[in-house]
Amino acid sequence: MISGWCRGLVRLACACGLVGSLGASPHLASAGADTTIYKTQQHDVRLVTVADGLNAPWSLCFLPDGRMLVSEQVGRLRLVQPDGTLGAPIGGLPDLYVFNQGGLLDVAVAPDFAQTQRIYFTFSEPGESFVGTAVARARLDLQARRLRDVEVIFRQRPKLPGNRHFGARIVFGPQGNIFATLGDRGERGRVQDLSNTLGSVVRVRPDGQIPADNPFVDQVGRVPALWSYGHRNPQGAAIHPRTGDLWIVEHGPTGGDELNLVKPGHNYGWPTVTHGVDRDGSPIGVGKHAPGMTPPIHTWTPSIAPSGLSFYTGDAFPKWRGDLLVGALAGRTLIRLQMEGAHVRAEERLLDGLDERIRDVVQGPRGRVYLLTDMPEAKLYRLEPVGR
């Protein structure tokens, strides 16, 4: 059941910009109605349209057999065949608040899906005129195209009025625990208060229990699920394939979007420190740095509105291995961050001329890269090497 309805997606008016750029990738030529070739710094790539007709898709994940699950923010979960055929919506979702930035958000397949058929998803959960980000798990009955045994394992507290800054990315850590990013819900003045989970990353077990080694366990007045705090609106999350560290990207105010390496118990500053400014150009907080607050690894000003984050580990684009791929909404592009340890060596903007808001970026089978665009009539794309 859907509470409210999506009357149009939020369109951020921020301009896009370059920081430490390798330059934009030139468009080479069209290779057919559903295929376009682009030249990048390291590889010539083919952009293939896999599926269209999606309505505001937010997240993509792969089942073990190569089929895909796509969440649509408007309140639908879709099964997509490898050839792009869209299935009917999967039933059994809980009540959703679908308006502005709220709705059905991230979706992830459990590491033990082959045994449990479990998936996890985030959504904006309504409740008595208030709403908050929630994390749920369910058993995916593929034969019946329905979710079974739906169970909310975490709820952001407090629920609040308003329809923005839900955060809502989820990833599995190396020990099987779940990291969930939570936005500040527009209440930035409460983010530094550790008695709530506004503007934070939380870490819970797959059943919602609290890991004993979370940094604030048994500390009076602090939420034991907290992993880090001082975030604004993180909409991308990825686990480093070698170190197991959590990395996130988050929206700044006007400018100051951030890439952060997230460490347990660290304070990332919002709104005391930020590289951005308020909408009227006035400063926020005390500046870009303050004692006891962890600075970002990389920032974007003007804002790109980052959404979706993946470390590339595949064979299709060997010169990208270890790099980060970032979707950009306001930037309307895909960004490759050339990584050197915990530092960004350079930035390259890919797919110049595509000019579409990128909501999610995921590495798929055979090292291909899959992209979701953010539109009422959106597409699922696949990025593959030319000549291989």
pLDDT at 120: 98
Q: Is the pTM of this model over 0.75?
A: yes
Residue 138: partners with Cβ closer than 8 Å, 6 or more residues away: 92, 118, 119, 121, 147, 148, 149, 150, 151
**Cβ atoms < 10 Å from Cβ of 342:** 11
pLDDT at 208 over 60: yes
pLDDT tens across 327-346, in order? 999 999 999 999 999 999 99
Residue 266: partners with Cβ closer than 8 Å, 6 or more residues away: 228, 230, 294
pLDDT tens across 99-139, in order? 999 999 999 999 999 999 999 999 999 988 899 999 999 99
If you average pLDDT over residues 35-61, what whole number do you get? 96
If you average pLDDT over residues 64-80, what whole number do you get? 98
- Band the pLDDT of 93: cuts 50, 70, 90: very high
pLDDT at 291 over 50: yes
pLDDT at 33 over 70: no
CATH topology of domain 2-385: Neuraminidase (2.120.10)
Give CA–CA dist 322/340, Å, rounded: 8
Amino acid at 33: A
If you average pLDDT over residues 229-244, what whole number do you get? 98
C-alpha distances out from residue 218 to 14, 148, 192, 227, Å? 42, 34, 19, 13
Four-residue CA torsion sign, 30, 35, 36, 42? negative
If you average pLDDT over residues 33-47, what whole number do you get? 92
pLDDT tens across 141-174, in order? 999 999 999 999 999 999 999 999 999 999 999 9
If you average pLDDT over residues 379-387, what whole number do you get? 95
pLDDT at 222: 98
pLDDT at 221 over 50: yes
Task: Dump the DSSP string for 218-279.
Answer: T-TTS-TTEEEE--S-EEEEEE-TTT--EEEEE--SBS-EEEEEE-TT-B--TTTB-SSB-T
- Band the pLDDT of 387: cuts 50, 70, 90: confident
**Cβ atoms < 10 Å from Cβ of 254:** 19
pLDDT at 129: 84
The whole-chain average pLDDT of the chain stands at 92
From 242, 234, 236, select the one nearest 360 (Cα to Cα): 236
From 217, 226, 210, select the one nearest 177 (Cα to Cα): 210
C-alpha distances out from residue 246 to 5, 201, 242, 257, Å? 33, 10, 11, 17
26-30, 74-78, 129-133, 144-148 — which is least confidently predicted? Answer: 26-30
pLDDT at 16: 30
List of long-range contacts for 218-224, beta carbons under 8 Å, 24+ apart: 221/194, 221/195, 222/194, 222/195, 223/157, 223/194, 223/195, 223/196, 223/197
- Band the pLDDT of 9: cuts 50, 70, 90: very low
Instruction: Answer for the pair 183, 212: CB distance below 8 angstroms, yes or no.
Output: no
pLDDT at 46: 97
- Band the pLDDT of 5: cuts 50, 70, 90: very low
**Cβ atoms < 10 Å from Cβ of 1:** 8
Give CA–CA dist 307/328, Å, rounded: 6
Question: Which amino acids are annotated catalytic?
Answer: 165
Sheet holding 21-24, edge to edge: 21-24, 343-350, 333-340, 324-328, 306-311
Write down the residue that tokens 């999610």 correspond to: 360
pLDDT at 352: 85
Give CA–CA dist 375/181, Å, rounded: 23
Please tell me the number of Cα atoms within 13 Å of 73 on its side-chain side: 28
Q: Quick one: how many helices (H) and strands (E) in the chain?
A: 1, 28
Instruction: Answer for the pair 118, 110: CB distance below 8 angstroms, yes or no.
Output: yes
| Helix runs in the chain, H state only | 113-116
Q: What b/e readout covers 70-86, taking b as 16+ CB neighbours within 10 angstroms? A: bbbbbbbbbbbeeebeb
If you average pLDDT over residues 232-246, what whole number do you get? 98
